């Protein structure tokens, strides 16, 4: 019986690429020639998808239990509309699919959480806080990660292209003449936040990186205020900041205003998430619109697809939109085009 690996070897591509082509994943960036080669080889080998091999049996979705794992308290989630929107997307898609039973597991961000999730049929992790290189974790079935991808070869994931987002933000600021560009962000339990990672890499590539321009703290507006005040007190204030969330950016804008520093005239600001209040800030906040609810909906679709029999992992990249408002000075800079 032919396998994904057999097709990948003959086609000269990865197992993940074969899986995504056979599952009709149109978010995959692959040439038509490669896609057709994979499909032709699969036909020649008479490859049968897992669901076809199992007789395409349909499960009664009303009996399916899907668990959502969050690393926020209810109060913290209320303050972060991004993660709340992801969870709401999960709930809406479960309701639309006829999945009646969903359960929320709230875990501490930095403590090692237990692995007891009861008798759920599938799990959706919003962000992550486990060491997913541990073998016992890799044995979990029907798992999807949203907003992170700890192991693309083992788990499904729904993510944003953080490299593209960071590149867009920095190119926009550099295109407006900024060379002293700071970063304000928060931590991840394992490794760096991807926006911080790509900020460091891109700024180093451009010869503009200065470790003194980086400020890392918590994820709330109060932390954005504190970190911007720290930057102001240090002196040599960057003329622009890429800030990893709108919540942080709102706190940072308030700190600038209290210090008598004008945005965008003195300091340009770009945030991330496009929460509702961002457009009503003074000045309105330039940011990235994230389809957070869609990310949650896609996670449910992937879990149900696994439950129905798909075995090879899939990654879905949800596009973002750069929303240019006046906090980065675009309106005041005639002739400058967002990049």
Cα separation, 128 vs 150, whole angstroms: 8
Task: Round to whole Å and give the CA distance between 272 and 322.
Answer: 9
Helix (H) or strand (E) holding 288: strand 287-290
- Contact assessment for residue 195 and residue 215, using Cβ atoms and an 8 Å cutoff: no
Q: Cα(303)–Cα(291) distance, rounded to whole angstroms? A: 19
Map tokens 């918590």 to a residue: 218
Q: What band does 114 get if pLDDT is binned at 50, 70 and 90? A: low
Residue 179: pLDDT above 60? yes
Lowest mean pLDDT across 57-61, 69-73, 188-192, 271-275: 57-61
Measured distance CA(253)–CA(276) in Å, rounded: 16
* pLDDT of 250: 96
Residue 43 has, within 13 A of its CA and on its CB side, a CA count of 6
Counting residues of the chain whose pLDDT is more than 70, the rounded percentage is 83
Between 324 and 102, the more confident residue is: 324
If one compares 311 and 48, the residue with the highest pLDDT of the two is: 311
Q: pLDDT tens across 117-153, in order?
A: 777 888 898 876 556 555 555 567 899 999 888 888 8
Predicted TM-score (pTM) of the model is 0.74
Token pair in block for residue 163 = 């490299």
How many whole angstroms separate alpha carbon 205 and alpha carbon 26? 32
């Amino acid at each position: 019986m032919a396998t994904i690996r057999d097709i990948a070897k003959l086609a000269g591509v990865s197992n993940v690429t074969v899986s995504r082509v056979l599952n009709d994943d149109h978010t995959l960036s692959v040439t038509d020639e490669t896609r057709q080669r994979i499909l032709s080889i699969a036909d020649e080998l008479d490859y049968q998808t897992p669901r076809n091999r199992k007789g395409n049996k349909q499960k009664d979705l009303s009996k399916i239990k899907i668990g959502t794992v969050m690393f926020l308290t209810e109060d913290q989630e209320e303050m972060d509309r991004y993660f709340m929107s992801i969870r709401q997307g999960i709930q809406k898609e479960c309701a639309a699919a006829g999945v009646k039973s969903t359960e929320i597991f709230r875990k501490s961000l930095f403590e090692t959480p237990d692995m007891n999730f009861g008798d759920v049929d599938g799990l959706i992790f919003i962000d992550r806080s486990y060491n997913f290189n541990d073998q016992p974790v890799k044995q979990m079935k029907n798992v999807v990660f949203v907003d992170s991808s700890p192991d693309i070869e083992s788990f499904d994931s729904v993510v944003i292209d953080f490299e593209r987002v960071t590149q867009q933000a920095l190119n926009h600021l550099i295109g407006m003449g900024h060379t002293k560009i700071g970063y304000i962000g928060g931590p991840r339990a394992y490794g760096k936040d991807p926006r911080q990672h790509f900020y460091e890499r891109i700024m180093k590539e451009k010869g503009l990186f200065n470790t003194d321009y980086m400020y890392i703290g918590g994820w709330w507006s109060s932390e954005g205020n504190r970190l911007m005040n720290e930057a102001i007190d240090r002196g040599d204030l960057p003329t622009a900041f890429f800030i990893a969330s709108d919540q942080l950016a709102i706190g940072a804008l308030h700190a600038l205003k209290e210090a008598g520093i004008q945005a965008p005239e003195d300091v340009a600001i770009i945030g991330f998430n496009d929460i509702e209040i961002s457009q009503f800030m003074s000045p309105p906040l330039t940011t990235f619109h994230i389809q957070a609810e869609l990310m949650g909906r896609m996670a449910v679709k992937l879990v149900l697809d696994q439950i129905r029999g798909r075995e090879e992992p899939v990654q879905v990249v949800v596009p973002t939109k750069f929303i240019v408002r006046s906090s980065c000075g675009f309106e005041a800079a005639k002739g400058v085009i967002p990049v």
